[in-house]
Chains A and B, each alone.
Chain A
Amino acid sequence: MSGLSLHRGLSMQRIGAMILRYWYLLQSSWPRLLELLYWPALQVITWGFLQLYIAQNANFFARAGGTLIGAVILWDILFRGQLGFSISFLEEMWARNIGNLMMSPLKPIEFLLSLMIMSLIRLAIGVIPMTLLALFLFHFNVYGLGLPLIAFFCNLIFTSWAVGIFVSGLVLRNGLGAESIVWTLMFAIMPLACVYYPVSVLPIWLQYVAWVLPPTYVFEGMRALLIENSFRIDLMLDALAINAVLLVASFGAFLALLRSAKKNGSLLSGGE
């Protein structure tokens, strides 16, 4: 990839070439396609039945219909968004193709943009069937959330990209020995993002940490919408502002890690 600059002379053709490369890969491998569908479907079925059980036994959850299954779907957008980004990146490391890309005219920002677009495509393949499953099995229509769903989705996907960019930089710098971070980092965020419970459950000091994470605002917003029927636009704007900071910081970190990889020669080894 040329230089360390992020934005000079963006080429849609090069971005398109990378998307084509990942599309060829998905087409050639049914296990990869199946993997996109398998876990989201399993998640929604498991949590959907749990939600049914709780709803039959608790008045609160009967009123707050959909919070669990809604949380599962939104969490999957966050998690799958990051995985979609990071797995496309890892494909280059696994294939030992990263040197070919780095030596081509492809720029870092073009590479990252192609990974972002691929995360959307992979997400669509995995999550759209999941939402339809939730609708037919549990009568939970996530699209019934309307415009707020777009706000939730955008904030979650921005966070997933920020995390994806950062962990890709870590793998670039440290080789495939750092691959496990790709699979686990988002789970470190999960307890603080308050996916399945309100922020008020956390100790006060931890609540301050939770409010640094954009997904916390989304899950609070989702609960407000489903339980109180109120769309908290203030929460969405706060999340958007933090996401903007996170995205800029992750771009900066990626470039710094790429430079460090070039300094210590890890682009040549790529392994552990």
Chain B
Amino acid sequence: MTGNANASSRPTVADAISSAAIEVDRLVKVYKQTRAVDDISFSLPRGSITGLLGGNGAGKTTTIAMIMGLVLPTSGRVRVLGHRMPEESAAVLGRMNFESPYVDMPMRLTVRQNLTVFGKLYAVKHLSGRIAELADDLDLTDFIDRANGKLSAGQKTRVALAKALINRPELLLLDEPTASLDPDTADWVRAHLERYRRDNNATILLASHNMLEVERLCDRVIIMKRGRIEDDDTPGAIMARYNRTTLEEVFLDVARGRVNGAREVAR
């Protein structure tokens, strides 16, 4: 493990057995009458960056929430870093982290206070040094003692990313990581994520509507539609299969039920 988490969350025998960071097997989630996730399976190798694409209601957030243990599956299995979720979540939660538009950092606390609280929750050693390092890396220094509620949307996103990186996670789950950032900052965040993955051999799963971001960052793309996996391959292979030059065109084809950008698919 590359992180500073406490001894109880170090890699175990179970980790060694499983080389995959995430294993999803026949996962189903049904809310009343709605099948939000419908029998999906995939496995993400350690050190990979995978993009989860899909329109609104495709099942991306529910899938990520089940991987995190925030939502219980109706059926199927999830293993994270070799451990069953949510049964063995205590063994892995200190080694993973996430960023999502569905959660916020407490608004009245300053950036430093927020990072201090989360650093302590994740048992980060040399916490003040780690906070200084993140402030430097993510350019938070100018507003580190300002209340989170008084930051711009872009600054809040960078603070949320700092929180997601506070424990140097082996697995990072990101939901729209560059939403509300200007193009320059978004590009800078993407570069930071690439560097973080490379330096730490971290696994990153990100849900995004930004196709350029996915093309640039991801070595694999999973496209979801109505709770099912519509396609799963490298960005290049998927674009070739749909005879398209950008993932955005592929996304539109899938969303509108077209194959090869032409005929409608009867579903």
Contacts and interface: CB of A to CB of B under 8 A. Distances in A.
Interface of A: 2-5, 8-9, 11, 13-14, 16-18, 20-21, 24-25, 28-29, 91, 95-107, 259, 262-265, 267-270
A24 B117 contact: yes
B246 interface: no
Interface string B65-105: 10011111000000000000011111001100110101111
Nearest to A91: B106
Nearest to B5: A105
B138 interface: no
B90 A2 contact: yes
Mostly, the A contact residues are helix
B120 A103 contact: no
Contacts of A21: 106, 109, 113, 117
A267 B121 CA distance: 19
A100 B103 contact: yes
A263 B108 CA distance: 31
A265 B62 contact: yes
Leading 4 A-B pairs by shortest Cβ distance = A17-B120, A99-B103, A2-B90, A96-B104
Interface residues on B, range: 35 or more
B100 A17 contact: no
B166 to A, nearest CB: 10
Given A17-B117, A24-B117, A3 B90 contact: yes
16 contacts: A2-B89, A3-B87, A8-B90, A16-B120, A17-B120, A24-B108, A28-B147, A95-B104, A96-B102, A97-B106, A99-B100, A100-B163, A102-B69, A103-B98, A262-B69, A268-B102
Contacts of A97: 103-106
B108 A9 contact: no
A103 B87 CA distance: 14
Residue of A11, A105, A107, A262 with highest tally of chain B CB at under 10 A: A105
Contacts of B147: 28
Given A24-B109, A265-B65, A14 B121 contact: yes
B8 A95 contact: no
Contacts of B104: 95-97
Given A25-B106, A99-B70, A13 B123 contact: yes
Contacts of B121: 14, 17-18, 101, 104-106
A5 B87 CA distance: 9
B113 A96 contact: no
Contacts, number: 117
Given A24-B110, A100-B105, A105-B5, 19 more contacts: A3-B69, A3-B90, A14-B123, A17-B120, A21-B106, A21-B109, A24-B117, A100-B103, A103-B69, A103-B70, A104-B121, A104-B122, A105-B9, A105-B93, A107-B90, A267-B65, A267-B71, A268-B62, A268-B102
Given A21-B117, A97-B104, A103 B68 contact: yes
A8 B109 CA distance: 30
A14 B117 CA distance: 9
B117 A20 contact: yes
Given A2-B89, A95-B107, A264 B98 contact: no
A13 B117 CA distance: 10
A98 B113 CA distance: 17
Residue of A3, A14, A91 with highest tally of chain B CB at under 10 A: A3
A268 B70 CA distance: 7
Contacts of A98: 103
A104 B93 contact: yes
Contact of A265 (B31, B86, B97, B120): B31
Given A21-B106, A28-B109, A9 B98 contact: no
B122 A105 contact: yes
B41 interface: no
A105 B68 contact: no
A136 B223 CA distance: 71
B37 to A, nearest CB: 11
B97 to A, nearest CB: 7
